[in-house]
Each structure stands twice: as C-alpha cells, then as structure tokens.
Structure 1
Amino acid sequence: MINRFKTALLSGLLVITVTCGAGAQSINAGSRQAESAKPFAVREIASFDTPWAIAFLPDGRLLVTEKPGAIFLVTQSGRKTPVGNVPAVAASGQNGLLDIAPSPRFQSDRQVYLTYVEPGAGGSSLALARATLAVSGPRAELEDLKVIWRQMPKGSGGQPGGIIAFDPSGQHLFLTSGDRMRPSTAQDPDQALGKVLRFNLDGTTPSDNPHAADGGVRAQTWTMGHRNPYGLAFAPNGQLWLHEMGPRGGDEFNRIEPGKNYGWPEVSNGDNYNGTPIPRHATRPEFAAPPLYWNPVIAPAGLAFYQGTMFPAWQGSALIGGLASMGLVRVTLDGKGGADEVDRWDLGARIRDVAVAPDGAVWVIEDDSPGRLVRLTPL
C-alpha cells in the first residue's frame, strides 16, 4: 500500500518517488516544468463558437466542427462556408458535435466521417456517421448521411471520446469511446464504453478483430480499459497511439495493441476526485501501463504525428494539445514502445485539436467561444 509521495525536479523532468512497503521506486512522470522557447510564429486565421475538431482535405482546405452542432469548410485564408444538413446533436457540457475526418479515399468518394453525441429516448449516446461532402459554388452540405454505428443503450454523462483514425492501409477505421463518467463500463466487455473499436469503412466488423467470433460489442473491440480518450493517431512507423485524461492526475499516452486491457478504473497513476486512492499500474501487471503519463495533468486533446518539411526537427514527433496546460506538447518515440515529452509551448489558451497541413504548417484550435483557429510556421 502506497503511504508517501515525494517529488523532485531532475534535468527538467518531474520525478515522483513512491515509498511503499516493498521499497522506493522512481517514476518518470514525463512532466516538464519549464516552457520551451517558441520556434514558430503564431497567426490567427479565423474564429469559431466552441470548436472541437479540425481536419485537412487534400486540397488544403479544412473542415472545422463546433460543439454546439455546426460544421464549416474553411480556406487557409480564413473564408468560412457553413456546411448544411448537419445532424442534431445533444450539446451540453462535454457533449455535442465532435470529430470529423475525410475518408482515406476522399479524392474519389468525397466522403467524410463524423462523430457526435446523439440525443434520443433514455438520454444520449456516441454516434459515428458517414456522408458525402457536396460543394457547389458558395454552398456545401452533407448528403446521404447515415449512422453506421451507435453506442447503446443511451444514458447520461460526459467523456464521450469520439476520435476517428484510419489505419495506414486505409482499410479500417478506429474509434475511441469514452466511459461517459460510468467507470465500470470500461471493464465490461459487453458495453462499448471505455473502448477503442475497429470497423471496416462501412461500419461492419472486420473478421480479424481480436474477438470477432464473439459477436456484438466484443467483436468490435480492439482494446478496453480507457477513461476519456481525446487523441488517437498512427505514427509514421505504423504504431497506433492514444492519449486519455486521467482522473485527478495520471493523464496517459499509450501505445495501442490489439486485445490489450489498459486498466481503467482498476488502475491509474492518478486518484479519484474525492481524494481516494486508485491502485497504480505497477500493482497490476496484467494491465498495459502507459510509457508516458503526466502528474500534474495537461488534459490532452488532439493528437497528430508530424510529417512535413517546415519543422524538420519534429519529424515523427507526436503533437498534443493541452487544455489544462494551455499549449502544445511535443513527444518523441523511441520506436520500441517508449515515449518522452521533449517540448512544451505556452499558447495562452486551451488547445482542443491539432493538425498538420499538406504544406507542413501546424494548425491548432482553441477550446473557447470564440475559439481561434491558429497557424504555426517556423520563425
């Protein structure tokens, strides 16, 4: 049983020494106290009402979602075109219109995928929909929108997750589903909460999922034991990474591997909001432990791996938005499943999402109303 914590600052890293009955163990919490000097210029492009996600189309235009329930097609100069036929969303607290992502075959099929918290009898639930983006002159709208998956039964709570990622082959879609503030669901294999799910592009279940033969939610599940995952992306080496918010402490950055259980709420490197302790990852080795976690938290939101020419020193780095840390965090990977925070830049605002443009510029969006869409380019 853990009975004492000590903290010390060593080489810019917060090191937590945990003293317990079995002896002392030093844990690299991956939290840097000093901000890095900004190697980029910051330029405001446009502003939105509580924006949630940004996604680039192949031609360099962006799609931007607003949590209350709007989508805009935006040029890099900031001209905004509202997108019509957006579905109704349950917008309150953490819930509303969430992620948007162009199809891996967008050049030919013009399809986009979006996630949102869907209202209905019994409460609300996460929904994944697919539609065709039709643009004609000054008009843009979603055509033939179809919900291809929804979490059931409906209920209450925030922490919906809802992040979309496509595998490098463009054959499969991965989706994060948060625990909706019902922690025990993350360990229930028959509930699609607290999971990473894997689908074919039409929403059907791939035959090579870890438990495809079991049917139902079990067949769709790639990993389980997640709390509040707001970042999911494939690194250039093909590894899938996810970050999720911890409770009071213990934000995690995890390498996602099929069939693994990441432990929430049985283990965490944080504690409950009421102060009661949660067993640490080290006490339950059957659960996958994060190679990087944060105490104090950064409240991670948005994840993109850098591939471009504008910032050559960042090649292959993970770029993570910080809500609580109000900035941008850069993490490097060692190629063997390890990760380390190397930079943290204060942007003076809660950063909700981050994306890399085709030209290599980095774009972020603020979690505010108005929330600015900002372009970062080298000094």
Structure 2
Amino acid sequence: MRSTLTLSATTTLLAALASPALAQSPPGNAQVVKTIATSAGPVTVSRVADGLERPWGIDLLPDGRALVTEKPGRLRIMARDGSLSAPLAGTPKVFNQGQGGLMDVAADPDFARNRTLYIAYAEPGENGTAGTALGRGTLGEQGVEDFRVIFRQSPKVDGGNHFGTRIAFAPDGHLFLTLGERYKFDPAQSRDNTLGKVVRLNRDGSVPKDNPFAGEGAAAGAIWSYGHRNIEAAAIDPRSGSLWIAEMGPMGGDELNRPEAGRNYGWPLVSWGKHYDGRAIPTPPTRKEFTDAVIHWTPVISPSGMVFYTGGLFRDWRGSALIGGLSAKGLVRVAIDGTGAKEVERIPLDARIRDVAQGPDDALYVITDATDGAVLRLAPVK
C-alpha cells in the first residue's frame, strides 16, 4: 500500500526488522526470468503475471492481492497466485491518447477498514481537451462502487503529453497528487492553474486550510509546490514524513526533488537539460529564487514510480528510495539521508519500468511498460 507509517510506528517497525525475516515463496505459477547480481546479493526476478496492456500503476493490498491499472482504461485485481481478474466495473472513462489514460491507483491507508481506493487518470473534456483527475470509490463485489471525482486539474487543454501523475499519502492524513504541465511550459510558473504542480488535498478532495497559497483562489489554494515539468514518481519517506518526487526533464535534466510548501522549482525558466531542438536553458544556479534539484540525471533515467523500502528481505536497501526507470530499464536506488540524497546503485531489469511497489511479503513488485506488460517480483535467492 502507498500509506505512510507514523514516525513512532516506523521506529517500532525498524526495530522489529532487526530479527531475521524469510522471503515468502513466489506464486506457484510464477516463472523465473533471471537472477541478477545486486549489492544485496543475488536476486531472483520472477514473472508473476503478464498479458497486461501498458500497465501504469500497481498497489499491493494488505491481503497480498494487487490493484493494477492498464493505460487504455482497465483496472484489474491480481490474485496472490498471479491470476488476473476481468476488468472491474465502475472505473471512469479516460482520455486514452498520447501519454494519457488510466494511470495511478492507490489503496487508502485505512483500506482494510473502509475498502476505499483512489484512481488518477486523464479525463476527457470539451473539444478534444483533457486534464488529470483524481477520483475515489469503494472496492465492492462487482467492482468499483460509488466512484466520484474529487479533484480536477485546471484548465483542461489540448494535447496528449505530460499528465503526471502519482498519489502519495502523507502521515498527517493528507494526500499529494503530482501533475504534469501538459507540455505547455509557461503555466507551470503561474498559480492560477494546476499545470506543473504538486497539489495537497484532504482525502475527500477538499483543500487544507494550511496550504501555502490558501485564500489566493481555487487553483492556488490546492498548490503545494510549482514550477514542475512532468512528475510520474512520488513517495513519502516514512522516517521523516517528507514527500520526494522524481520528474522528467527535457533533453537531459531528470530531477529528484523534495517538494517543500510554497517552493518554486523553476521549470521552464531553468533546467539541467536542454530543449529538444538543442536550445540551451539557463541552469538552476543562475536563478537563486528557484529551488534546485537534490539530484539531476543526464543521460536521463525517465523516472516513473517510486517506493521507500522498509522491509526485511533486502536489508541493505532499507530506507532507500527505489525509482522505476523507463529509459534506465530497471530500478535506480537512491540513498536518502534527511534532506540529502545520492544514487548508489542501478538494478538492471532489461525492461521499461513504469511503477514499483513493496508487497506485504517484503518483496518488490514492478510493472513493465509494454503492450504485453508484466508484473515482476524481486526477492533474494533462497
């Protein structure tokens, strides 16, 4: 699940993990793809499920099942044996063009009690326009019940690029939603819209009164940080409660950021990359009013999906952020120390990785970005 532990719960968890932990066996029909060498020792990569069309988001439920989205508009449940359900009823109509479609899915931190899930997707508008939307509903016997939209990116615009988006639950009860600037550049610098922003919401979609721009208007009130390009990776560090995001740069200049309330991260006025036509962009140090990235990557990794590892199977990775890489074709492991970060390892998977999650068995589950996409499970060799 994408829920975040409180700091006291995290302390208890880390103490408990000091005792030996054993890997649960992969599903019986899982196919071992390969074994790879990592800093944590040899790791088995197993194909748990396949036949998914452009899977985009995965979230593990407390009972070991998983919610998996497919970009064309389908939400499925992957059982513990790896079998996939038929597409669930009750999901929203999506704008399945370009980079748009059914994107992230996240179970509520209290899912075991309330059965609530959240879905982020590209929502069609008038005259061929679209924008990211966030809705929530209840997982019932027949599918998603009582689904309703609780937030809409504004304005809806034309084009099929840069929707974002990831959902992350903060330990204070709020949620963050990351939003791309829809490849429109300049709106990322303005607070009269929610293009190129991180927004912070109550779980019912209302705007918290302590947001940094509350009172400036409907769009500004939801904004946590701005000046972003296209954010498809986000996770909460359970030790600090801080949000971390990884966002795609233009030609070069992918970034890892720790968004802080009210900060401006500079896009499109500064970047560590260049425009696609080769034109230079001023670098962040030239404009001190903007907050610079903690890490930047050229060549790019094309980050998509992120999780902070808290389990016991990969002890050497505990506390690290694991970021899915489309261009990197694997996982990028980043060591986080308070507000600092350093890339320490690449875990090669020879596939475009769209999302990554930690299961209740402490194994890692990743989904591959392909027309015949798969769910892969990573666990130490026994």
For residues 229-268 of structure 1, the aligned pairs below 5 Å read 229-237=231-239, 238-268=241-271
- Asked whether the 8 Å contact 1:44–1:372 carries over to 2, the reply is yes
1:107 to partner: Cα distance: 1.5
- Asked whether the 8 Å contact 2:68–2:78 carries over to 1, the reply is yes
Unaligned segments of structure 2, at least 5 residues:
1-36
Once the two structures are superposed, what CA deviation does each residue of 1:5-39 show, in whole Å capped at 9, x if it has no partner? xxxxxxxxxxxxxxxxxxxxxxxxxxxxxx95773
Task: Tell me which amino acid in the other structure corresponds to 1:277.
Answer: A
For residues 59-74 of structure 1, the aligned pairs below 5 Å read 59-74=63-78
In the alignment, the residues of structure 1 paired with residue 223 and residue 155 of structure 2 have an alpha-carbon distance, to the nearest angstrom, of 16
Once the two structures are superposed, what CA deviation does each residue of 1:188-244 show, in whole Å capped at 9, x if it has no partner? 110100000011111001011111122311110000000000011111221210010
Q: Identify the residue that residue 158 of structure 2 maps to in structure 1.
A: 156
In the alignment, the residues of structure 1 paired with residue 136 and residue 287 of structure 2 have an alpha-carbon distance, to the nearest angstrom, of 39
Is the deviation greater in 144-153 or in 192-201? 144-153
Task: Tell me which amino acid in the other structure corresponds to 1:218.
Answer: A
In the alignment, the residues of structure 2 paired with residue 80 and residue 124 of structure 1 have an alpha-carbon distance, to the nearest angstrom, of 29
For residues 70-109 of structure 1, the aligned pairs below 5 Å read 70-82=74-86, 83-109=88-114
Unaligned segments of structure 1, at least 5 residues:
1-34
In the alignment, the residues of structure 2 paired with residue 376 and residue 77 of structure 1 have an alpha-carbon distance, to the nearest angstrom, of 15
- Asked whether the 8 Å contact 2:165–2:233 carries over to 1, the reply is no
In the alignment, the residues of structure 1 paired with residue 109 and residue 82 of structure 2 have an alpha-carbon distance, to the nearest angstrom, of 25
Task: Tell me which amino acid in the other structure corresponds to 2:181.
Answer: D
- Of 51, 56, 60, which residue of structure 1 is paired with 2:60? 56
- Asked whether the 8 Å contact 2:188–2:196 carries over to 1, the reply is yes
1:152 to partner: Cα distance: 2.6
Q: Figure out how many residues of one structure are paired with residues of the other and give that number.
A: 339
Task: Tell me which amino acid in the other structure corresponds to 1:301.
Answer: S
Once the two structures are superposed, what CA deviation does each residue of 1:43-64 show, in whole Å capped at 9, x if it has no partner? 0011111100000111111000
Q: Identify the residue that residue 176 of structure 1 maps to in structure 2.
A: 178
In the alignment, the residues of structure 2 paired with residue 314 and residue 76 of structure 1 have an alpha-carbon distance, to the nearest angstrom, of 24
Once the two structures are superposed, what CA deviation does each residue of 1:98-119 show, in whole Å capped at 9, x if it has no partner? 0000112212211100011111
> What TM-score, normalized to structure 1?
0.87
Q: Identify the residue that residue 135 of structure 2 maps to in structure 1.
A: 129
- Of 330, 333, 344, which residue of structure 2 is paired with 1:330? 333
> What TM-score, normalized to structure 2?
0.87
Greater share of residues in strand: 1
- Asked whether the 8 Å contact 2:254–2:298 carries over to 1, the reply is yes
- Of 114, 120, 127, which residue of structure 1 is paired with 2:119? 114
Task: Tell me which amino acid in the other structure corresponds to 1:294.
Answer: W
Task: Tell me which amino acid in the other structure corresponds to 1:95.
Answer: G
- Of 175, 194, 208, which residue of structure 1 is paired with 2:196? 194
Once the two structures are superposed, what CA deviation does each residue of 1:167-194 show, in whole Å capped at 9, x if it has no partner? 023x111101100000101001101000
In the alignment, the residues of structure 2 paired with residue 353 and residue 76 of structure 1 have an alpha-carbon distance, to the nearest angstrom, of 19
- Aligned-pair identity (%): 49
Q: Identify the residue that residue 369 of structure 2 maps to in structure 1.
A: 367
Task: Tell me which amino acid in the other structure corresponds to 1:100.
Answer: V
- Asked whether the 8 Å contact 2:154–2:195 carries over to 1, the reply is no
Q: Identify the residue that residue 39 of structure 1 maps to in structure 2.
A: 42
- Asked whether the 8 Å contact 2:154–2:219 carries over to 1, the reply is no
Q: Identify the residue that residue 20 of structure 2 maps to in structure 1.
A: none
Is the deviation greater in 144-153 or in 244-253? 144-153
Once the two structures are superposed, what CA deviation does each residue of 1:240-290 show, in whole Å capped at 9, x if it has no partner? 100100000000000111110111001000000000000001101111101
Q: Identify the residue that residue 303 of structure 1 maps to in structure 2.
A: 306
Task: Tell me which amino acid in the other structure corresponds to 1:134.
Answer: G
Task: Tell me which amino acid in the other structure corresponds to 2:380.
Answer: P
1:71 to partner: Cα distance: 0.5
- Asked whether the 8 Å contact 1:246–1:252 carries over to 2, the reply is yes
- Asked whether the 8 Å contact 2:244–2:259 carries over to 1, the reply is yes
In the alignment, the residues of structure 2 paired with residue 49 and residue 106 of structure 1 have an alpha-carbon distance, to the nearest angstrom, of 26
For residues 348-367 of structure 1, the aligned pairs below 5 Å read 348-367=350-369
Residue aligned with 1:218, SS: helix
Task: Tell me which amino acid in the other structure corresponds to 1:225.
Answer: G
Higher RCO (CA < 8 A, seq sep 6+): 2
In the alignment, the residues of structure 2 paired with residue 299 and residue 162 of structure 1 have an alpha-carbon distance, to the nearest angstrom, of 14
In the alignment, the residues of structure 1 paired with residue 144 and residue 372 of structure 2 have an alpha-carbon distance, to the nearest angstrom, of 25
In the alignment, the residues of structure 2 paired with residue 282 and residue 377 of structure 1 have an alpha-carbon distance, to the nearest angstrom, of 41
Task: Tell me which amino acid in the other structure corresponds to 2:342.
Answer: D
In the alignment, the residues of structure 2 paired with residue 376 and residue 193 of structure 1 have an alpha-carbon distance, to the nearest angstrom, of 35
Moved over 2 A (4+): 35-39
Residue aligned with 2:244, SS: strand
